[in-house]
Structure 1
Amino acid sequence: SDGTLYFSGTIVNSSCKLASGNEKGLIEVKMGAVPLSKLKNDTNGTGPEVGVNISVKDCEAGTYYIVLDGASANEAPITNVLALDAGNPTAKKVGIKLTDRNNTPVTLDKPFDPNVDPSITVNADGTGTFNLKAYYYTWDK
């Protein structure tokens, strides 16, 4: 059969720089103390939402997506749940979900997918902000 493939894309000179966070690029998100019993008694097994704003600068104009390379909570029954850091003690069957403001999960440890991954449009000023939210999630209901 006859056909034509058409590819489109743009090669850019540099990636964005993190505008929020400290000198090491660390953005601290204070999740607060939430009793495990509250998570278990919530219909969705989730704690209160915490706003997470990730600002970027020095970008070329265009659309940018966010995908995280983090440790997934392997035993969670759904995907895109971040594992808690090991500690003494660490809550069992609890992780952190990170979504955009429309509840679209931020992808963890998977290839980029422009159809589902949260995005921002950076204008000529080279700045933009991913407005996200994080919350504790338990699968021990």
Structure 2
Amino acid sequence: MAKFEEVKNGVIFPVGEKNEAYAQYFIGQSYLNNLIADPEVNVGVGNVTFEPGCRNNWHIHHDGFQLLLVTGGEGWYQEEGKAAQFLTAGDVVVTHDGVKHWHGAAKDSWFEHLAITAGTPEWLEPVSDELYNQL
């Protein structure tokens, strides 16, 4: 049994549907609940839930940023060229414009964060199993 099973039911905000729209940019299953997707506001807010072992590809936010507010479980965040950061509920991550990074669940834990995002994402290569399995 994975740690933090309660995350799959939503910690603060409800878990969304299977994240089919972005599935090609993830290894494993994620779920997305768009909390703010107003075309008149140029910031999106989504509750993203990751099954154990799920992570997104390396990516960059151009002309914007991404803020991650961890609400449950255990996961990882890594910027290119830096050591991965272990994340738990209450952690906050600021990703500045143009920074290549990835984030996702720990191997044995559900993980959930709010993603506050502006700008245009550029999706890149998957996080290798070799890199991920070293965490």
TM-score interval for Structure 1 and Structure 2 normalised by the shorter chain: 0.3 to 0.5
Higher strand share: 2
TM-score (norm 1): 0.34
Bigger CA radius of gyration? 1
Higher helix share: 2
